[in-house]
A and B are shown apart, each in its own frame.
Chain A
């Protein structure tokens, strides 16, 4: 009896895992790939995947998807070329990837490449110059003074950037001062913000995605930071230290006031009182 239950369970689990449809693959691609790749939209951090199956054979591609680092470590010339093109960014292994899923992904890419306009063409970014209003709004969104439309948390809760306040922003996630360059400009950054590529950010913004206008403003803000070329100022760290010290001093003063009546030694105060009286 127990063996039957076990085999049924195994079969069910395997069924769920194996039941990958074309719709699922598209969703998977959207969630995991579009932050760096487009199909027919030009390169972002990673290369444009349009017609990739013609550029390289499927077996190589599949192996690369499953473990990008091993190809690079093995010294594969094509892989090394990719790394160079991506300015040293190595493709992270996608969560829950399997040989089967990699095949399905390649199928999807092949099918989408054949279309005139792919659904994964990427976010269409206008090349119109950003206005100071955009930058201002971006800063407001970053700091959370203007809440995000879909209820996502403001960037400052985890990230820091220049000009967001004396104490800087959150220290949980990377500093975003150079993010515009890191993600290679407007297109890459917009794509990332539309579908964040890291596990942490995805979990947070999956249900509360950023609005297109918000992305526009934030990109404007980050671009401005990058253009200004401001160095990471030590001021915020200094401020943080000073606030800490100030807080500690305040706390000590408070404790001293609360327990001002405590016994501080009897004999010494007598002798000190006497010697101070002697001087005056």
Chain B
């Protein structure tokens, strides 16, 4: 067992209101420089929709993530001989058009335009070329189903939905969408790190944050197609790539990352997880439908004495283990099994988990009257407006079982709380629902508290970062790695 500590995240999609405050907080802190205009380390997508960059989930186009070939885990985009043939141009690179051409407006024209019959306008000016341009796409171009016949209709998660379900999803009275905020997942098994020919991308050993060394980056851009979530961006001005750093300077001073801190809906949870790094390779080779369980198995119980002793042996300080025990992410992911990783079939094992959103039941027009299929607006999961298969494609590697479990538990807790506070539901029915949802009353109370009444400190359990123990202050970790080598495979016979 090789116990590692990892800072992990959980987004409660049922609470997200799609206000983009997180994106703006991030933008203002990190990506307001030249060359980073198009970078949205944090973005909020509308689902169904094609997201940013367009159709990032479609790996038949972008070849991101891992695949199992000949019982080996291989990068889809960059196996060894492709590194040579693609070194100067990677064919699966998203183009600027798949993101958007960043622009500003010629505001001066509003003041300086010569007198004429027309009102002067501020024309859009490209921030890349500095010339006037026609805006054809932008970040959140398909926000709130904008342009849905083009964008939402091409959502890769609509795969395996029946024509009827698709039709229902897009007919006017039944329209439904939810928000899907995304940042770098700081994956357990990051494909961007594996793809980098310069060794510039690395996963910080002590907390698992995936970082990109600006000094080592040579701008080969192999990370961009390799990341299946398209969360590494190429800076066209500096010629180097950049990505979300999970606000590590804030974490090191005990503050939550900016997007977490600014979240209006309080959907974001931050906590630490202990995991077994020895199992990653074997687990990543399992079939799609077993991956969620595999990841849950890799996440270790921080209360288990054996895990604690192994963690200590690996140099994890006691107070960090203590914080792992308090982690809200651990509860949502492993104990309550309500939070699911996005697209785990990419096999990078994201460390950002989502509680799937609830949706009202389907309604349809009958004799010019809108009638719901069920009287209980939020009750019947199978009749929800968002087809289960859609959520399954997004969070369940194509399977709906885990999504149904998570939704059932959410609804049971909601019904139980309604029985407690409003009383219009029979408590016996509520308890029956809880039993069906594999949830005890105590657990329901705890879920309710952590979902609805959670304080700042309960949502963001930031472990001490122990920078005083980090070697970066005095030694370059890369040099240290080169100097130390791999150590002896077997002990030398004579003393050295």
Residues of A with Cβ closer than 8 Å to B?
A: 259, 262-263, 265-268, 270-271, 274
B94 engages A271 (CB within 8 Å): no
Q: Is the CB of A270 within 8 A of B154?
A: yes
Instruction: Please name all residues of chain B whose beta carbon is closer than 8 Å to the beta carbon of A262 when the two chains form the complex.
Output: 91
Contact A263 B61 (CB under 8 A): yes
Sample of 5 further A-B pairs with CB below 8 A, known A263-B61, A267-B53, A268-B97? A263-B93, A265-B95, A265-B97, A265-B98, A267-B98
Give 5 nearest A-B pairs by CB, closest first: A267-B54, A274-B150, A266-B54, A262-B91, A266-B98
Among A259, A265, A268, A270, contact of B151 (Cβ-Cβ < 8 Å):
A270
Flag if B150 contacts A271 (CB, 8 Å). Answer: yes
User: Is B58 at the interface (CB under 8 A from chain A)?
Assistant: yes
Given known A270-B151, A271-B150, A274-B150, contact A263–B54 (CB-CB < 8 A):
no
A266 touching B61 by the CB < 8 A rule? yes
Q: How far is the CA of A33 from the CA of B173 in the complex (A)?
A: 103
Indicate if the CB atoms of A263 and B92 lie closer than 8 Å: yes
**Chain B: minimal CB distance from A227 (Å):** 58
CB distance from B344 to the nearest CB of A (A): 23
**Do residues B150 and A266 form an inter-chain contact, with CB atoms below 8 A?**
no
User: Given that A271-B150, A274-B149, A274-B150 are contacting pairs, would A266 and B53 also be in contact in the complex, using a CB cutoff of 8 Å?
Assistant: yes
B137 touches A267 (CB 8 A): yes
B55 at the interface (CB under 8 A from A): yes
> Can you report 27 residue pairs joining A to B where beta carbons are below 8 Å apart?
A259-B91, A262-B91, A263-B62, A263-B91, A263-B93, A263-B94, A265-B98, A266-B53, A266-B54, A266-B55, A266-B62, A266-B98, A267-B50, A267-B53, A267-B54, A267-B97, A267-B98, A267-B137, A268-B97, A270-B50, A270-B54, A270-B55, A270-B150, A270-B151, A270-B154, A271-B136, A274-B149
Complex Cα distance A267/B137, Å? 9
B132 → chain A closest CB, angstroms: 20
In angstroms, Cα B55 to Cα A266, docked, is 7
CA of A165 to CA of B61, assembled, Å: 49
The smallest C-beta distance from A149 to any residue of chain B, in angstroms, reads 51
- Closest chain-B Cβ to A164's Cβ sits at a distance in Å of 43
A278, closest chain B residue (CB): B149
Q: Please give, as numbers and ranges, the residues of chain A lying within 8 Å of B91 by CB-CB distance.
A: 259, 262-263
A160–B318 Cα gap in the complex (Å)?
Answer: 89
Question: A262, A265, A266, A270 — which one has the most chain B CB atoms within 10 A of its CB?
Answer: A266
Once bound together, how far apart are the Cα atoms of A271 and B58, in whole Å? 16
Partner of B94, one of A259, A266, A270: A266
Closest to B149 in A: A274
CA distance A45 to B353 in the complex (A): 95
- Count of B interface residues, CB-CB < 8 Å: 20
Bound Cα distance A266, B58 (Å): 10
Instruction: Name the residue on B nearest A275 (C-beta).
Output: B150
- A30→B54 CA distance, assembly (Å): 80
CA–CA, A262 to B53, complex, Å?
17
CA distance A270 to B98 in the complex (A): 10
- A262 CA to B77 CA, complexed, in Å: 12
Please give the distance in Å from B101's CB to the nearest CB on chain A.
11
* Bound: A262/B95 CA distance, A: 12
On chain A, the residues within 8 Å of B154 by CB distance are 270
Proximity bits, B38-75, A CB within 8 Å = 1, else 0: 00000000000010011100100110000000000000
Q: Output the least CB separation between B190 and chain A (Å).
A: 22
CB distance from B443 to the nearest CB of A (A): 43
Who on chain A is nearest to B151 by CB? Answer: A270
Closest A residue to B100 by CB, please name it: A267
Complex CA gap A121/B95 in Å reads 78
Residues of chain B within 8 A of A259, CB atoms compared? 91
Identify the interface centre among A263, A265, A267: most chain B CB within 10 Å of its CB: A267
Which of chain B's residues 128-160 have a Cβ closer than 8 Å to chain A? 136-137, 149-151, 154
Nearest Cβ in chain B — how far from A270, in angstroms? 5
B residues 213-272 in Cβ contact with A at 8 Å: none
In B93-140, the 8 Å CB interface with A consists of: 93-95, 97-98, 136-137
Residues of B within 8 A of A265 (CB): 95, 97-98
What is the bound-complex CA distance between A263 and B56, given in angstroms? Answer: 13
Residue of A nearest to B96 (CB): A265
Residues of A within 8 A of B94 (CB): 263, 266
Distance in angstroms from B225 CB to nearest chain A CB is 9
Closest A residue to B99 by beta carbon equals: A267
Return chain A residues, CB-CB under 8 Å to B50: 267, 270
**Chain B residues with Cβ under 8 A from A263's Cβ?**
61-62, 91-94
CB distance from B317 to the nearest CB of A (A): 46
| Bound Cα distance A265, B53 (Å) | 11
- Distance of A262 from chain B, by nearest CB (Å): 5
Contacts of B97 in A (CB 8 A): 265, 267-268
Q: Which residues in window 166-193 of B have CB below 8 A to A?
A: none
- Bound Cα distance A188, B189 (Å): 84
* Alpha-carbon gap, A266 to B137, bound state (A): 12
Residues of A within 8 A of B58 (CB): 266
In the complex, chain B residues 372-416 whose Cβ is within 8 Å of any chain A Cβ? none
Tell me the nearest residue of chain A to B136, going by C-beta. A271
Residue of A nearest to B89 (CB): A262
Instruction: Name the distance in Å between A15's Cβ and chain B's nearest Cβ.
Output: 60
User: Closest approach, in angstroms, between the C-beta of B353 and any C-beta of chain A?
Assistant: 27
Please measure, in the bound complex, the distance between the C-alpha atom of A265 and the C-alpha atom of B93, giving whole angstroms: 9
